[in-house]
Amino acid sequence: MSISMHSASVPIFTTMLGNLSKWLDKAEAYAAERKFDPVVLLGTRLAPDMLPFTRQVQIACDGPKFCVARLAGVDAPKFEDNEATIAELKARIAKTIAYVNSIPAAQIDGTEAKDITIPRREGSHVMQGEPYLKHFVLPNLFFHVTTAYALLRHNGVPLGKGDYLGLGS
């Protein structure tokens, strides 16, 4: 049996975004325990020229949202990119998970060879569905989720590999 485009995307998206949401819970608990405002974490970066934590979460949500929309041939919902609290980031993650789960598998499956147009600053780029998912969306999702994990971990939030994989508490 071959793997489907839906099974290679939506479950991975929802798992990783769900894990990210749980890390935000741990970040809030850590801030409360240490008696600091958790909003401090939202602007953190590892280098001056990198995007801050909030943008990492926003982009981690945008990839799956746009992926299922493009594969299904529908418009993706618009998010304002104005989250300023952990609760607002968690709400964005929840909206993203709900959206990717709302697209029926039948609209995504069979899109391996479908031309997908990706808008870029330097002009649109066209890829077929399977390489778009495997070589663009999934690596970007893991990059931004891993960066968010690293930022929280760097700032002392007690996360481990089990949390990353969704095996933690």
Residue 139 belongs to a domain with what CATH number?
1.20.120.450
**Predicted confidence band at 146 (pLDDT cuts at 50, 70, 90)?**
very high
Backbone angles phi, psi at 73, to 5 degrees: 75, 35
What mean pLDDT comes out for the span 146-154? Answer: 98
Looking at residue 29, its pLDDT comes to 97
What mean pLDDT comes out for the span 34-60? Answer: 97
- 118 within some domain: yes
- 162 within some domain: no
- 36 within some domain: yes
**Predicted confidence band at 168 (pLDDT cuts at 50, 70, 90)?**
low
The pLDDT mean for the chain works out to 96
pTM: 0.95
- 2 within some domain: no
Looking at residue 169, its pLDDT comes to 56
Per-residue pLDDT at 133 exceeds 80: yes
Per-residue pLDDT at 19 exceeds 60: yes
- Triad 68, 165, 89: Cα angle to 5°: 55
Per-residue pLDDT of 1-15, as tens digits, reads 579 999 999 999 999
- 169 within some domain: no
Looking at residue 8, its pLDDT comes to 97
- 1 within some domain: no
Domain with 21, as residue range(s), is 10-157
Looking at residue 2, its pLDDT comes to 79
Contact criterion met (CB below 8 Å) for 17 and 64: yes
Buried b (16+ CB within 10 A) or exposed e, 89-103: bbebbeebbebbeeb
- 142 within some domain: yes
Number of domains in the chain: 1
